[in-house]
Each structure stands twice: as C-alpha cells, then as structure tokens.
Structure 1
Amino acid sequence: MTTTPSTCCYCGVGCGVLIHSDGARVTGVEGDPAHPANHGRLCTKGLALADSCASLSGRALHPELRLTRDAARRRVDWDSALDTVAERLAGVIRRHGPDAVAVYASGQLLTEDYYLFNKLAKGLIGTNNIDTNSRLCMSSAVSGYKLALGADGPPTCYQDLDLADCVLLSGSNTAYAHPVLFRRLEAAKAARPDTKWIVVDPRRTDTAALADLHLQIQPGSDVALFNGMLHHLIWEGLIDERYIAAHTEGFDALKRLLRDYSPRQAAGLCGIAEAELTTAAEWFGRSPASLSLYCMGLNQSRHGTAKNLALINLHLAAGQIGRPGAGPFSLTGQPNAMGGREVGGMATMLAAHRDIANPRHRAEVAAHWGVPPERLSDRPGLPAIALFDALKAGQVKAVWIVCTNPAHSLPDLEQARQALAQAEFVIVQDAYADTDTAACADALLPAASWGEKEGAVTNSERRVSRVRAAVPPPGEARADGWIAAEVGRRLERLLYPDAPSLFQNSEPAAVFAEHAALTAGRDLDISGLSHARLERDGPQQWPYPAGAAAGQARRYEDGRFPTANGRAQFHVTPYRPPADAVNARYPFRLLTGRLRDQWHGMSRSGRVARLFSHAPEPTLDMHPADAVRRGLKAGELVSVESRRGSLVLPLALSEDLPGGCVFAAMHWSGQHLNSGGVNQACSPAVDAQSFQPELKHAAVRVERAELPWRVRAASRHPDLPALRARLQPLLAGCGYAALSLRPPDILVLNAAHAQARPDWLSELTRLLDLDGGPQLQTFSDARRGLEQRIAWRDDAPWAFVFAGGQDDGARLLAAMQSGQPWPGNRLSALVPGAASAPAAARIVCNCLHVDAERIQTAIAAGADLAGLKARLGCGGVCGSCLPELKRMLTRQTEREY
C-alpha cells in the first residue's frame, strides 16, 4: 500500500488529499492535514473519490474512430487515432483556414495540459478558437476583475475568511458548492460571534438559513441591491474618501448614476424591505473588515459583469480591499479554472493575462514559442456559445472537446446537439465514454482521470498545488497533455514540415517551467515556481517571482493596481432585468443550482450510490402556495417549458422559494434522465463583455404532465454504473424516465408514459433478468396494464418491477436498502395498498448514513448539535451535513416557541 499526496478534482477550494492505493487501484482517500487550503478537511464528495474510481464501467479505455458519418465507432490503435485526427484537422485548415477549427476544453484540465492545448491552437494552428467550460462559470468574474482592478485574479486569500467582521455571500450557496470553506467560515464565526453574515439569494438555502440577514431578492436584481447599498454608504458618510481620492478614478460618474438608486427605490426593485437593504449597507460599511464571497449566482447572467462590477464598486468606495479580512472574493467553480486563465486557455485572452489585440503581447508569446509573430491571430476567438453557433452554421468545421460535456452543460441544449450533428469532425477526449457528448464523437480519445496523471492546479486563492498520479490509467488511456502533444507533433509535420517542433518536451515539469517563464514580469508572475519548488515547499500562492522567498497572500495592499495609471476603476452599473422576461405565458422564474453531494453532470459522482442519498431523485421545487393555485401536488409529474425547450420532472414543494419561482438542480444529464436536463430550458443570452450565458434564470410555465402509466424498478448489482449503462437506452422510450442509485448497491428506475408500453416493459424485465427463474414472483393483468415482478435471494428482495398499479414498491425498496429479510410471507409484497407504506427516510449524513427521521427524534428528545454528534455521529466526519443539522435544530426551536 502506498500514500500519494495530491489535490481534489472537484471544486475550486483546491483541497489537499492523500490517495491510498495498492499500486493498481485507489483504495481510499483522506484529507491532507498539511495542505493549507483544507488542513485535512474534505466534503462528502471528496471523501467518496475512491468509490468513484472503483468501477471501470463507462471509462474510455481504447481509442475509437467513426470511419463514415453513419457508421458506429470502432476500436483502433493509438497511432491510427492520432494520425487520423491530425490528418482531418490539417485537411480542414487547408480547405477553410485555421478558424474553421476549434478546441473546447475544461477547468478540470491540469495547468500543463491547458498550456499545451493553448499552444497547439494559438501557436500551431493559428486560431484563437480555444474556449473552455470556464466560460460558463467564471468569465464574468474575470471581466469584473480586469475592468475594475486591471487584472484577473482575486485580491483575497482564505485567511480572510478567518479575519472578516462582515461576510457578504452573494449568489453562492457556499454550504453546498464549497463545503470546506463553509466549515472555515463557521469556525471563524464561532470564534468571533459578532461577525455578521449577509446572504443574498432568492432561495432560502442552507447557507441563507444560517445568516444574520438573508436578503431574498428578486432573481437578477443584484445590481440594484449593490447600487442601493452604495447610495446609502455615500449618504451616511460611510465611504472612504481618502482611499477613493488616492487609489481610484471614475467615482463622480458613478455617483451621478446612484442618485436614481435610493434605498427605497433599490429595495423596491429587489422586492425586499428598505430596512433590510440599509442594514446590510450599515454592516458592510461600518465593519472593520468586509469580505464578499460570490459565485455562479452573479456570474451566470446576461448582466454578470455588471453584477461583479457593482459589488467591486462597494469595496472600492468603502476601502474594503487590499487588507486582512476585506475584499471581493470570487469562488472558483472548478478545480483549475484559475490555471486555465493563467495560460490563456480562453478565446479572448493570451497566456499570462496578455491581450490578443496587443501586438507587443502577441510578439512576446510568439517569441517564447519560437513561431513567426504573424501566426498568432489578432482576432479574438469564438467564446463557447458563439463557437457552437458557428458549428451549427457550418463556419467551424471541426471541434476538439476535451474533458467536458457540452451536450449537457450548454444552455438551449437542442441547439448544441444540432451543432454537434452538423460538425464535419468531432473529437471527444474524455475519461468517460458514456457522457452525453461522447455519443456525438467521430473520434473518441481515452484520457487519464484523477489519480492517474501528473501536473498542477491553481485554486480560488491563487494557490498552486501539485496533482500526482497514484495509479496507472486503465486500458490504453493516456494523459491529456500527452494526447495534445502527440497530435501537435503530427499536425506540425503536416502543416510546417521544416519548422522546429513546438512539442519537443511534453513532460509536465518541463511544460510547467515553460509556462512559468512566460509569466515573468506579469501581474501573475510565477517565474519562481517549479515542480521541484512545489515538491520541496508545498502549495504556493502567486504572484511568486523569481528570487522571492514566498508567494503573496493578499494583493493590492499598497493601493497600486495593474492599470495604465495604477488606479482602480469605478464603473457605472445601471440595473437591467434578466434577459428572459416572465409573462402570462411563461409566468415562473426558473432558477438552477447545485446539490450538496453531486458534481456537474455526474459523470464521476453519479457512480457512487451513497452520493444520491441526500437528493435521490431529480425534482422541480415550487412554493406550496403556487402549487395550490395550480392544483398541483407533491410527487406529481410536471412539464417545465421555456421558449426554447421543455422537460418533465417530479414536483417537490418547498417554502424556501419565493412565490413565482421554481428551482431545479443542474446535475441530471441524459445519462440519468430522458432529457438532457434543466439546461434544455435555459437561455443562451450572453453577457456582452464576458460572453457568459444566463444559466441561472429562465422564464417557464409549469403544467401537470398527463402520464398515468407509472413504472418503478429496482435492482441490486455489484457494478451499478454497468447496470445503468444497460438501462440508459430505455429512457427515451417514455414521457418521463429517471435513473438513480441508492446505497448500498441499488439502481432505481422511475418512469411514466401516457399509455402502457408492453414492449418497453418486456425489454426492461429482460435487462433486469426478471423474465424467468425459480426465485421469481409475478403477477400480471394485461387488461389493466398491470405487471409486478419480484426476484428473491435469501428471503430478501433482490430486484423488482412494479408497473401500472398504485403500489410504487416503496416497501420493497426500503427492504432492499436495509438488507434485512422480508418481514412476513412473500405474497404480502404484492398486496394492493402497499403504496401507502412510507419510503425510507432521507439521508442527511452520508458519512454515517444517518437519516432525517433519527435526527428529528433525537432533537425532539432534547439533543443539541453536540448531542447529535455524540449520539448519532452525524456532523462529526466531513461536516457537509452541519448546515442542515443546524437548520433542523432552528426549526425545532421555532416550533416550540
């Protein structure tokens, strides 16, 4: 057994992990107590990483090619795959020019991989058409930082979470999206109880429920809120006039705009009380140190840049920047979105925060790469949404998709699917062969995954950490950087046979050194960093120039900014409503967000049964009063339709939403649903400066879905991803269908249709091995469309299908999850009326599998938080459930009084 220090592959917190392995497979994961980002803490997703590595089902193990457009892909060797990719790309470039090729990459790539792809696209092919899924999550934060402060990158660090006297969380359910940072915030508040938390969110999330002040604003009204707060700060003399005069410009123009945003006017636009707005402003302005934490709720908007700028305006005006505990802190969504921005891995930037339009910057990069300066295009490339529009229009002929799943993650999914179908050549490079996008690939290149490759990542506080391989990649999978370099070598022989190679050394340490040298003298200077330095000294923050003894934790402490005149810039930010207007036809505002225990499209986390315990099914959440007005009930299937697309989801009722709003999680993809997920309904409208789409808001209507024929099936299986892959093709055969997992090893299928589907049901029973055998119990009534089948093993149900009746199999599913023998005669499992049996209680603590019912019982008996930890163990391992435990305790107190 060996232990390998590395970094978690999920969110941008950048937690250090210790990977335990036996040389061939990962056997366990724990937090690294020596890593400064997490000090040994991990969230429920991070702790489950070993489980997601356990199964090779769904992994891309061999290169595959589609020889003709209508043929199936077939397995080929690496040389054939690489030669074909290079030849097809070279052919497109010769016929249509370099801008007919595009690369669409990912914030989950390592920095070295990112650098090689950027070099391949911009230095070899000569196109800036390389964008990433970071465009969908962080580009508005990038635009805001660059416009206001002069350069990308947060001016803050994680230590500021410990030192802030006022914390403003906006558009971020930190308790779910960045749980380890939320633990740190909780610890800081416990140590300094006078610290004020303000949470800005249309939903009462677990983060908002623990706030001292929850501003439940109308969706998209953030700019009005921040403008109103700044109006109040000016009126009350709470701005830092000395700081404004010495270190900023543009404040007078902003003040003229703010005359129209009195607290009363701004609060009216936001749908909150004027007193709530002024309280937030007072706390922020009077605090010795005010810190803001923000994420997708600000960024994923047609006006995302304005929202970022309006918040930064607050910090600059109050002097709340460049000192301990203060500053605007954008929390990165992916593990290496920051590293991708550093290497220029986006269509609108060059390496090391250089500008495409700047001839000197292009010449510097060309000289570093050893290519003619005219090869670097002076035209910005196509950002994500425009890139796929160009694919659909036939302007871009070939696209290389790396480590991301745009057939699930882009808005207006039907357009994205049509774009991929229209493309002349689609290359998909991924660790998983069963994503929604992989089905569109003409060439599938199997990539190494987490724990199988070497490199570095940069987290939200600009800290660079090493990622290390603990085990070899399975099958013929190879590291992303190796694949990029191998294609690059072949492509340059076809395009520039006499030129020296740009990919002479693709080893991660050498690539990192080349990247670091290109940053020398820039605002993100890491010329003092290397793999060797990171191995010796551990993770380091940038800037870290050559000769420095350490990196810089906090930026702009001297009040100097990397702008032309050294001053930060105020920006005029008028409020504008969301792009997708509600009306009588589309009266609801659809909000999207994350679940606590899932990640992106669930290609990795969706393989772990226990990560479904907290939220076992996809749902559309609606306020109970809205449901009553429309005659809808919890559990019913509803159609959610926007101006672009629709999907069917089960209805859940929640008082955490304001009236007129509904909510759906973004994780459920075509591998788990009979649709592509909630993004089918989302708007492709983009911010004019960041080009980030408005994924957080869409106008929809919600109606009952008339699908009376219902099916529930469940089966235990030692390899749940393999069983899911067998059943996934069936999803398209029903008006609604969803696959999910349950611990310990159960797959559940829920489906519904307008009428009975005997052929579909027959195929389902065959795939579940329920079409015969001595332990099979059946009941059928073809006239009524009723079918019940149960397979037994050792007096316990092993699998079942219940179709067409009122019984949804809740008792059987609960028995399968408990692992206990069936209580009573087997015939009782088919007794009508069992639908009234309660389902298994929802799991709150995944680490120790503690359900809500046991927690409520303990609370009713007088247990406080310490008592819950001592009696049940919940909240004492990873801590991801702590916000919900505190919320449950608060609700009990409210009921008592």
Structure 2
Amino acid sequence: MTGVVEAPSAEARTTCPYCGVGCGVLARVAADGEVIVRGDPEHPANFGRLCSKGAALGETTGLEGRLLVPEIGGREKSWDEALDLVARRFRETIDRHGPDSVAFYVSGQLLTEDYYVANKLMKGFIGSGNIDTNSRLCMASSVAGHRRAFGEDIVPGIYADLEEADLVVLTGSNAAWCHPVLYQRLLATRQKRGTRIVVIDPRRTATADESDHHLALDPGTDVLLFNGLLAHLARTGAVDDDFVAAATTGFADAVGVARAEASSLADVAAGCGLAEADVRLFYELFAATERSVTVYSQGVNQSAHGTDKVNAIINCHLATGRIGRLGMGPFSVTGQPNAMGGREVGGLANQLAAHMGFEQSDEVDRVARFWKAPAIARQAGLKAVDMFRAAGDGRVKALWIMGTNPAVSMPDAGRVRAALKDCEFVVVSDVTRTDTTLHADVLLPAAAWGEKSGSVTNSERRMSRQRAFLPSAGSARADWRIICDIAQRMGFGDAFAFDEPAAIFREHAALSAFENDGKRLFDIGALASLADAAYEQFVPSIWPLPKSGGQHRRLLGEGRFPTPDGRARFVAVRQEGVALAVDVHRPVALNTGRSRDQWHTMTRTGRVPRLMANTAEPTLEIAPQDAAREGLADGDLAHVSSRYGFVRAKVSISANQKSGSAFLPMHWSGQFAANAGAGSLASPLTDAFSGQPELKNVPVRIFREAVAWTGVLMTRRDLRPTGFVHWSRCPVEGGWVYELCGTETGGQGILLSRQFLDGFPPNHLVEYNDRRGLTYRAAALDADGALAEALLVSPPGQLPPRDWLVSLLGSRAPLSPGDRMALLSGHSPVPMPATGRIVCACFDVGINQIAASVARGSHSVALIGQDLGAGTNCGSCRSEIRDIIEDARLKAAE
C-alpha cells in the first residue's frame, strides 16, 4: 500500500524489476492508494503473463523499512549536508591517495541511465576503473566467454528462438523458478510442436521435473560433458565443415583437446557421474537436431571455471553452425532486470562503455574524446571480490555502494562485513535498510521501483522503459540525480549537467555510434536524437538500432563476427579440477540459488506474506543418504560450515538432491534470520578470466544442532531477536511470526515472556506454564481486546498449530470469551479450514486445499488448476502440485 492519493491514476506502462526476462507491467494507483499491477499484454517478453513475484509488485511499494531521509552517522541530515560530505571526502581521498583509492560497487537493479553516469564519473572523470557491479556474481563469465568467442559481448538469439527450436537444452538454469514466464513460453510451444527439453543440473529441480531428459551431472563437470559433445559431433560427422572453414578459427585445437579429454562416452559418463546411456541420448539428440538452443544461466556462470564452461557450450554451436539463426544458438539468460544494460554502459570494472574496453588504446582514446575526459582511466579496475579485499586492507579508502547488499550476497561475506567496518568512508545509496546499510557512514535514500524513470535491457537485448507512477517516498531521489549531484560538487559539473534521464539516454546512444562504422554490434545510434516525448513513448525494442537503419533481431547468423578478422574463435578448454574439493572433513558439495518466490536478499519480497508463505524459514535441502549419515531428520536444525564461515538452517530431506550435494537458498539475510546467509559459506575463489566467484560448489560439513526447546512468537512488532541459537521470521497479515530455538533447559518460556511480553498489564495477559517448565503458552491482548502477541514454547516437535492465532493477529478484531479460553491451545473453538503452507503464491492456494481437491478426484495438475486455479498463472508451483498428487496416490495404495 502507498499513501492515499486524490484520485485513481491511469495505468502506467512499465517493466518488472526482478529477473532478466524483462516482463512488461501495467501499474496504477487506486483511489485508496493501493497499487494494482497486471501483465502488459502488448509487451513482447511476456504478453501479459507475470510470475508470483511480479504479480505481487503492488504489495512491495509500502514505506516499511524505507530510507526516507539522508543520514550521516545515523542522524538525519539535509541532502546538501550529505552530498557535500560525500563529495568532499571522495575529493580529499583522491587528492591524497590517488584515484584508485576510491571505488563504486553498483547493481543490476540500477537503470541504464543510472549505470551510465556512475561509469562515466568513475572511469571518465575520477580516472579509475574501480567500478564493478553485482552482475560480477551473475553474468561475468558469460561476458568473458562471449568476448573470447565472438569478439564482443553478444547474445545472438531472441526469446522467439525457444518457440522455434526442436531441442532446448537448459544447463545450470532452473528456469521454472528463476525465469518462469519465459519457461512457460517454452512449455506452451512444446505442446504445439513437440519440442524436446533436456535439463543439465545436479539437482532435480522443478525445471528438470517437466523435462524429457535430465542429466544430473556431478557439480563442476560441465566442461567435460560439452567437450564430450564436441568430440561426438566431430566423430559422427555432425560438424558443419563449410561454416567452420568460412567463419571460424581454432577448431582443430578445440576438437583435439576435447577428443583427448573425452575419448569415449564411457569416460565422459564416469567423469560426470552419469549413466552412459543418458549421455549417449543427449549427444545423439543434439547431433540430429539442427534447431537447437542451449540456455545457460548461473549454474554455468557462478564457477571458478565459468568462462571455460561458457566456451565449451559455444564451441558446440559453432561446430554445427547453429548460431544466430531461427531456433538455434547459445543463449545466456541474465539474473537481474538490467544486467544487460549495465554491460552496455561498461558497468564491469574491466570494460568501458558501449562494448569498448581497456585492451585497445584507441578505444580508450575514443571514449575520452567523446566524454571530453583527458583523465580517463586507462586500465581495468578492481573486480568485486578484489574490491572488498582492497577495502579491508586499506587500499580502497572510500567506497560507494549503490542498490545492492554485499554484506549478505558476496562470497566470504564475513570478511566483506569486516572490510566494510574497517573501510575509512562508506556511502550507501539504497531504497531500504539492509545488512550493508548498517556499515554506512552516509546513507542516501534512493527512489524505488514505481518512483523512478529510465530504461532496462533484458536477456534478448530488448530495451524497455521503467516509468514512474508514484511520487518519491520521503525525500528519496533517483540514482542518476544523486550521482550527478556528487559529480558536480566534485568539480565535474559540465559533464554531468543532465536534467532528466532522457538526456542521459541520448548521450549513451550517441556514444554507441561514435566512430563505430559497424565495428561494434552494440549500436543504438538511431536513438541518439530521441526527443523527450519519443523517449516517454518508447516501445520495447531490440538492439542494434544503428542510425543507418536495418535492425537485425538475431545476430551472428550471417557468419560475420566482431573480431579483427571477422571470424568466431573456438576456444580450447579443459575440464579442470573443481576449485575446492570435498574431503573427509567437508564431504558435501553445497549449491546455492534462488527459491521460487524470493528475490536476492529479500529486501522487497521478504515483506510480502504470500511470497514468504511457501518457504517461511531458511531450509537446507539434503539427500537422504547424507542425512542418514549425519543423523538428520526433517525439521532438525543443521549447522553447516565451510572454511569461510557457518550458517544454520532447517533440514529438508529430498530425493531431488544427488548424494554428496546439498542446496541452500541465497536469500536469507540478518533482516530475516540469524546466521543463515549463504554468502557466509561461499568461496571467494574466482574465475581467472571473468573474476566471477565459485558459488555453486562449496565443500561443507553438516551436523545436527542439539536444540532443547522451540518457540514461536506472533507479534505486530518489527523485532530483531538476539541471544538465540537460531531465529527466523516471516511476515503475516498484521505482523510477523518469529521461529525461535535454544539449548537451555527448563523455564525458558517465562524468560521469553519477560523479554517479549513484559510491557502488557497483567489483566491483558493470559498464560500457562507446566510444572517442569518445558511447555509455556501466553497471549497478550491490546486495549480493544484483540490479539496483539502470542508466545508458544515447547520441546522440539511439540508446538501446537498456529494458523488460527495468525488469523486472529491479522483480523485485529476483539476476541469473544470463547476465543479467549481457546487461545492457549492454539485451536479455534469452532472448526475452521486450514489453508496450510502456500503452494501457489499467485492465487494464494495452500497445501491442504490442494490435498482436499485431490481427495475430491483432481488427480492431475490440470484438474487442480480447473478446481483451484493453482498452477495456471506462472506455473512455477506445478512441480510441487504434482508431488502432492503423487504422495496422495502412494498413500492410497498402502
């Protein structure tokens, strides 16, 4: 909800701020201030569909947790005071220690215009390459692989290719959860034309569940698998010899290495932990199917050998000439809404704007002339992992973090937090308070989605507008405005005299065409003179858009590449040993990634009850064999440690996990749980070419925490508990539910009551405590007689139900005498249906409702959809619905 407005607004055509699919959204503000969103049926990325997160965007625009006023040292200050201080400290640091003593760490949440001026300020006028982005953790290996193979960071295909392909290979991509709208497009076209889907992933994910063929390879063995495919293509005569001869170099070396490493199917299968028959089926499918698309994402990129994995995939497409043509090509799908836009403007530390780089001095000179920036940086800056190391050891003395939460999301996050604490001057501009803002000397409130205006580029190179339809909250400002204000105070005013994002976009477009002459495929020169009105009306468009006209939607299909000789390059790659290997001390390989309904560190989605209701607390998914070895049961609290740190999470035993591996969601921060952030475990070891860290294969030790009691606190208050072995919290209608546990024995309920309920007068408090002090129940009523708080404490596994109490907390209605008497039992005095854990977040359908529908005869996902609507929108819950149906079938057969 937002503040009340005088009249309902017209729908604004904007773009979703979540994943790289780039879905179009129609948003409006109702007369009561409620923000209502729906999918834009005219946007070519989604044609009106939204996933569970996108559909809940209207529930993320409130002011809870928002930064509203600048702060210095935790005290509210004026914008002038804050901006003057930041500019002065950065200028003094540069004057004393040189330009490389300062750094920016930015985000794929920024709009292209924000990204552009940040890059221009640091590289062009401060004169350092020290600007990097959280996309370093996301797509840097794809960028490096593209540049090695194509000479430029080019994604050749478009989304329509998934609908034209006869074979789609999804590797390292749980698209059903991470890019659900795009995945639903793929499933819809499979129904029409029989597209085969192969999923390559150590986990059996929701994506694998609906595939024709799943290869559960051992973590980190992707290069061997695709080298084996390249060798198979050469061995069986499936290579397009004419294309290879006319359009590529390096084929003989790449195939020679592949043949030596993958001499037989048996060798590949053994090295990847797969059945030989499964490998053969995949290879034969790929060899026989011309229209093949290979979609890859973080499972490939987030590796200390991610660039080699990317090139191993590209090699197979180059060998068959399947690139840039209808229904074929390698397809990198980005994780963030503007990861591609950041790459276009040079947001990575080793790039310059407009797909130029530091390797060629003429490109550096070209950007310097265009910007009129003689002090331009002439060498690459610090990549993300190295940047925070430098902040910790004093080489970087002033650091500005924009729109991201590295205290949680970076690998070896404990060391990153220590670096932020030790850094002399830390500035954070963001929308909300995070674990990172705790370390800021200066906080700058940034405008949020719905309040800011600019552009983003999605995974198929499609530029779309984000448009403002809300006033900025408090005194928040757009990121581009904040950056330009700082730049002007640092003495660079003429170069940053922008008065609107349209002017920045025009300069960005002009630079893309400057002295280009077709050498760089990224060219949007046709938009360099875009009038303000045309910018406002800009429709989603795929680049390149050169001034000469002749837009090409697919790229590289004509066999010409943006390399000096016009040829693509095969890159000979080898299957290296994993960056860190499991051993007797840490015998499980930990994988991290997204949960279905969550986003990054939950700064937006974590406050939406229906998005938290599917997985309400941090959960470690582990294989049955590994759980049995460690004596773990479902619901136990696990202690997980790597050489970098530890976390605690609830155990979920799942046959979807391969023995020797486990999965922990990436989202949990100190705002929502104690010691549950996957970044604390992750390895800071990085890819030699891309600088992207290893996040998918970290050796860990797992053991059961000895918990003596468990508790649940239901409250309207926004708390951060301390002193517990573990806690986590989940928003519900009207407040929060806190899960608590500890190792103390006896009397814990009374102590917790004094901690949490002490402010309520005795006549507003009802409680029960057993004589042994093991079980405690208490409920506190407000002045109107409505439930304000409830506290339940029991030995592990003995807590009563809480659905009814949660519903009372949300209703805020005065309780009847019967309700008061039933409070301590947790059971409603009259029968009430229990929804249970939410399975379909789009339509708020719970597990108990689905089970009841199955009992009524809904024995398929389609029938459940007809009965309840579940699974009929984004489809990301269909795998779970299928599991519920199968569980019911097995129970009926017992």
TM-score bracket, shorter-length normalisation: over 0.9
What CA distance in whole angstroms lies between the structure 2 residues aligned with 1:192 and 1:207?
19
**TM superposition shift of 1:56:** 0.6
Tell me the residue number matched to 1:85.
Answer: 86
* 1:113 and 2:120 matched: no
* 1:866 and 2:862 matched: yes
Tell me the residue number matched to 1:21.
Answer: 29
**TM superposition shift of 1:625:** 2.5
Tell me the residue number matched to 1:720.
Answer: none
Matches within 5 A, 1:525-564: 525-529=523-527, 530=530, 532-533=533-534, 535-536=536-537, 538-548=539-549, 551-564=551-564
Tell me the residue number matched to 2:522.
Answer: 524
CA contact (8 A) 1:811 1:838 kept: no
**TM superposition shift of 1:866:** 3.2
For 1:383-431, what per-residue CA distance to the aligned partner results, in whole angstroms no more than 9, with x for missing partners?
0000001111111101000000000100111110111011010000001
**TM superposition shift of 1:710:** 2.3
**TM superposition shift of 1:893:** 7.3
2:763 to 750, 754, 774: 774
* 1:541 partner amino acid: I
Tell me the residue number matched to 2:773.
Answer: 784
The verdict on how the C-alpha distance between 1:252 and 1:396 changes in structure 2, with shifts beyond 3 A counting, is same
2:65 to 49, 54, 58: 58
What CA distance in whole angstroms lies between the structure 1 residues aligned with 2:862 and 2:802?
35
What CA distance in whole angstroms lies between the structure 2 residues aligned with 1:333 and 1:822?
50
Tell me the residue number matched to 1:496.
Answer: none
2:505 to 509, 512, 517: 512
CA contact (8 A) 2:292 2:322 kept: yes
* 2:296 partner amino acid: Y
Tell me the residue number matched to 2:98.
Answer: 97
Matches within 5 A, 1:525-604: 525-529=523-527, 530=530, 532-533=533-534, 535-536=536-537, 538-548=539-549, 551-604=551-604
Q: Provide the secondary structure at the position in 2 that maps to 1:6.
A: strand
Matches within 5 A, 1:187-206: 187-193=188-194, 195-206=195-206
What CA distance in whole angstroms lies between the structure 2 residues aligned with 1:621 and 1:795?
42
For 1:858-897, what per-residue CA distance to the aligned partner results, in whole angstroms no more than 9, with x for missing partners?
3352443332222112123443323433555567778899
* 2:736 partner amino acid: L
Q: Provide the secondary structure at the position in 2 that maps to 1:752.
A: strand
CA contact (8 A) 2:800 2:826 kept: no
CA contact (8 A) 1:810 1:838 kept: no
CA contact (8 A) 2:465 2:538 kept: no
**TM superposition shift of 1:381:** 0.0
Q: Provide the secondary structure at the position in 2 that maps to 1:528.
A: helix
The verdict on how the C-alpha distance between 1:757 and 1:318 changes in structure 2, with shifts beyond 3 A counting, is farther
* 1:5 and 2:6 matched: no
CA contact (8 A) 2:176 2:875 kept: no
What CA distance in whole angstroms lies between the structure 2 residues aligned with 1:757 and 1:367?
74
The verdict on how the C-alpha distance between 1:697 and 1:237 changes in structure 2, with shifts beyond 3 A counting, is same
Tell me the residue number matched to 1:70.
Answer: none
CA contact (8 A) 2:835 2:848 kept: no
What CA distance in whole angstroms lies between the structure 2 residues aligned with 1:125 and 1:612?
43
Structure 2 gaps, min length 5: 1-7
What CA distance in whole angstroms lies between the structure 2 residues aligned with 1:637 and 1:891?
25
For 1:266-320, what per-residue CA distance to the aligned partner results, in whole angstroms no more than 9, with x for missing partners?
1111100111111111111211300011110000000000110001111111221
Q: Could you tell which deviates more after superposition, 526-535 or 89-98?
A: 526-535
* 1:790 partner amino acid: A
* 1:811 partner amino acid: P
* 1:300 and 2:296 matched: no
What CA distance in whole angstroms lies between the structure 1 residues aligned with 2:797 and 2:242?
71
What CA distance in whole angstroms lies between the structure 2 residues aligned with 1:297 and 1:311?
13
CA contact (8 A) 2:450 2:470 kept: yes
Q: How many positions carry a matched residue from both structures?
A: 866
**TM superposition shift of 1:453:** 0.9
What CA distance in whole angstroms lies between the structure 1 residues aligned with 2:646 and 2:83?
39
Matches within 5 A, 1:741-756: 741-742=731-732, 744-755=733-744
CA contact (8 A) 2:793 2:799 kept: no
Q: Could you tell which deviates more after superposition, 403-412 or 733-742?
A: 733-742
**TM superposition shift of 1:40:** 0.7
CA contact (8 A) 2:27 2:37 kept: yes
* 2:605 partner amino acid: S
The verdict on how the C-alpha distance between 1:676 and 1:863 changes in structure 2, with shifts beyond 3 A counting, is closer
* 1:875 and 2:889 matched: no
* 1:453 and 2:452 matched: yes
CA contact (8 A) 1:619 1:664 kept: yes
**TM superposition shift of 1:799:** 2.8
For 1:495-531, what per-residue CA distance to the aligned partner results, in whole angstroms no more than 9, with x for missing partners?
xxxxx62111241000000000000123110011246
**TM superposition shift of 1:238:** 1.5
**TM superposition shift of 1:265:** 0.8
What CA distance in whole angstroms lies between the structure 1 residues aligned with 2:746 and 2:469?
48
The verdict on how the C-alpha distance between 1:696 and 1:506 changes in structure 2, with shifts beyond 3 A counting, is farther
What CA distance in whole angstroms lies between the structure 2 residues aligned with 1:357 and 1:24?
55
The verdict on how the C-alpha distance between 1:331 and 1:832 changes in structure 2, with shifts beyond 3 A counting, is closer
CA contact (8 A) 1:247 1:559 kept: yes
CA contact (8 A) 1:228 1:267 kept: no
* 1:600 partner amino acid: H
The verdict on how the C-alpha distance between 1:883 and 1:781 changes in structure 2, with shifts beyond 3 A counting, is closer
Matches within 5 A, 1:620-635: 620-635=620-635
* 1:479 partner amino acid: A
Tell me the residue number matched to 1:69.
Answer: none
**TM superposition shift of 1:617:** 1.5
What CA distance in whole angstroms lies between the structure 2 residues aligned with 1:859 and 1:676?
35
* 1:35 and 2:43 matched: yes
* 1:478 and 2:477 matched: yes
* 2:790 partner amino acid: F
The verdict on how the C-alpha distance between 1:832 and 1:396 changes in structure 2, with shifts beyond 3 A counting, is closer
CA contact (8 A) 1:453 1:469 kept: yes
Q: Provide the secondary structure at the position in 1 that maps to 2:688.
A: coil
CA contact (8 A) 1:685 1:694 kept: yes
What CA distance in whole angstroms lies between the structure 1 residues aligned with 2:302 and 2:682?
11
Tell me the residue number matched to 2:128.
Answer: 127
* 2:442 partner amino acid: A
Give the root-mean-square deviation of aligned CA atoms. Answer: 2.5
Q: Could you tell which deviates more after superposition, 770-779 or 195-204?
A: 770-779
* 1:525 partner amino acid: D
**TM superposition shift of 1:633:** 1.1
What CA distance in whole angstroms lies between the structure 2 residues aligned with 1:667 and 1:822?
40
Structure 1 gaps, min length 5: 67-72, 494-499, 718-722
CA contact (8 A) 2:24 2:48 kept: yes
What CA distance in whole angstroms lies between the structure 1 residues aligned with 2:867 and 2:827?
36
1:799 to 789, 811, 818: 789
The verdict on how the C-alpha distance between 1:346 and 1:830 changes in structure 2, with shifts beyond 3 A counting, is same
What CA distance in whole angstroms lies between the structure 1 residues aligned with 2:570 and 2:393?
39
For 1:238-258, what per-residue CA distance to the aligned partner results, in whole angstroms no more than 9, with x for missing partners?
221121111111111112112
* 1:143 partner amino acid: A
CA contact (8 A) 1:300 1:694 kept: yes
* 1:526 partner amino acid: I
The verdict on how the C-alpha distance between 1:167 and 1:470 changes in structure 2, with shifts beyond 3 A counting, is same
CA contact (8 A) 2:358 2:379 kept: yes
What CA distance in whole angstroms lies between the structure 2 residues aligned with 1:568 and 1:145?
10
What CA distance in whole angstroms lies between the structure 1 residues aligned with 2:368 and 2:324?
34
Q: Provide the secondary structure at the position in 1 that maps to 2:730.
A: strand
What CA distance in whole angstroms lies between the structure 1 residues aligned with 2:540 and 2:564?
31
What CA distance in whole angstroms lies between the structure 2 residues aligned with 1:347 and 1:761?
54
What CA distance in whole angstroms lies between the structure 2 residues aligned with 1:507 and 1:391?
33
**TM superposition shift of 1:377:** 2.0
CA contact (8 A) 1:446 1:476 kept: yes
Tell me the residue number matched to 1:442.
Answer: 441
What CA distance in whole angstroms lies between the structure 1 residues aligned with 2:734 and 2:701?
37
CA contact (8 A) 1:206 1:887 kept: no
**TM superposition shift of 1:435:** 0.3
Tell me the residue number matched to 1:316.
Answer: 318
